Amino acid sequence: MTTALVLRALGLGDLLTAVPALRALRRGGFRVALACPPELSEAAVLTGAVDRLIPTYDRDPVVWPGMADRRSDLPFYPDLAVNLHGSGPQSHRRLLDLRPRRLWAYATAGFTRGPAWDPAEHEVRRWCRLLGWYGLRCDPRDLGLPSPAAPSKAPGVVIVHPGTKDPARRWPPERFAEVARAMAALDLPVVITGSRHERPLALLVGTRALLPPQMVLAGRTSLRELCALVSGARLVISADTGVAHLATAYGTPSVIVFGPEPPARWGPPEDLARHQVLHRGTDPAEVSVPEVLAAAERALSAATIGPVRR
């Protein structure tokens, strides 16, 4: 089977927007070796499209096992390198350094074979268009993930996820706390999620929302456990695109506060009414608490779970 080295060494949301492209490669008969951060391995497995993981971080060189270990079952050089990382040329050069037999990528300086890059294009469609240019059929709606084998330990909860990788995208923690407190006042179980580094922020939100400490799950869940939690949740409220794309992958109703960039590139597909996207300008703080609560009611109603009482 032909081996394709795919570079996507970014975050969780970036991986999830590339799922349709990864599956198109797998259906096309390629063995997919994905170069991405090792902490995303559990999500990569759930895509059903990744055969090997090559631990790689953004801007770091890709260490190809076929070159580094003579006992590897991978070829000495990649049969095909696919750049799902960016427009190039730096990411192109990282792959070309491995001397692949072929490179699939967007056209840029020094690499003229490939389609033209559109900076305004939605991230899901961008990578589907790239593979379509090279002859593979790719369905941008193929975003779903299977639920992990271990079910959610807290089914039916409202997930409040106050952290984001980029501080410019953060919605004020006191507003997340107000929303969490309002959800809990409706007799809806609320949990606060986040990474280990985001646990102090999550504890602040949980304390202000008057939630018991055990409802703050930030730093206490693996990625697989977070996937299970989102798959079984009643609602996700977040400003983080990674968790937002998890909600899309599991069809879980969500309210996403966007900023400073508009959601045209990173938001959920427009035809998914259960996802409510709020964007009022370059500052996420321009979105108010009443707007988020109203959006939560719309998201739950669209999912036929029942309206939220005020």
What structural domains and CATH numbers belong to the chain? 2-133 (3.40.50.2000), 158-302 (3.40.50.2000)
Sheet arrangement for strand 235-238: 190-192, 158-161, 235-238, 254-257, 275-278
**Is the pLDDT reported for residue 170 higher than 50?**
yes
> Residue 184 and residue 164: Cα distance in Å, rounded?
23
Residue 75 preceded by cis peptide, ω within 30: no
Question: What percentage of the chain exceeds 90 in pLDDT?
Answer: 76
142's tokens:
């193929």
> Which of 179, 194, 183 shows the shortest CA–CA distance to 156?
183
| Mean pLDDT, rounded, for 229-236 | 96
| Mean pLDDT, rounded, for 241-254 | 92
**Is the pLDDT reported for residue 309 higher than 50?**
no
| Mean pLDDT, rounded, for 245-269 | 87
CA within 13 Å, CB half, 171: 32
> Lowest-pLDDT range, 160-164, 221-225, 258-262?
258-262
**Is the pLDDT reported for residue 151 higher than 70?**
yes
Q: Phi/psi class of residue 79: alpha, beta or left (left: φ > 0; alpha: ψ in -120 to 50)? A: alpha
Q: Which residues contact 102 (CB under 8 A, 6 or more apart)?
A: 79, 80, 81
Q: Using CA of residue 152, residue 153, residue 159, residue 165, what is the dihedral sign?
A: negative
pLDDT tens profile 196-225: 999 999 999 999 999 999 999 999 999 999
| Mean pLDDT, rounded, for 227-251 | 94
Q: Phi/psi class of residue 126: alpha, beta or left (left: φ > 0; alpha: ψ in -120 to 50)? A: alpha
DSSP, collapsed to helix, strand or coil, labels residue 284 as helix
What is the per-residue burial (b if ≥16 Cβ within 10 Å, else e) of 203-234?
bbbbebbebeeebbbbeebebbbbbbbbbbbb
Report the chain's mean pLDDT, rounded to a whole number: 91
**Is the pLDDT reported for residue 269 higher than 90?**
no
**Is the pLDDT reported for residue 272 higher than 70?**
no
Predicted structure pTM score: 0.91
Residue 260 preceded by cis peptide, ω within 30: yes
| Mean pLDDT, rounded, for 63-69 | 85
* pLDDT value, residue 61: 92
> Residue 280 and residue 143: Cα distance in Å, rounded?
27
* pLDDT value, residue 259: 81
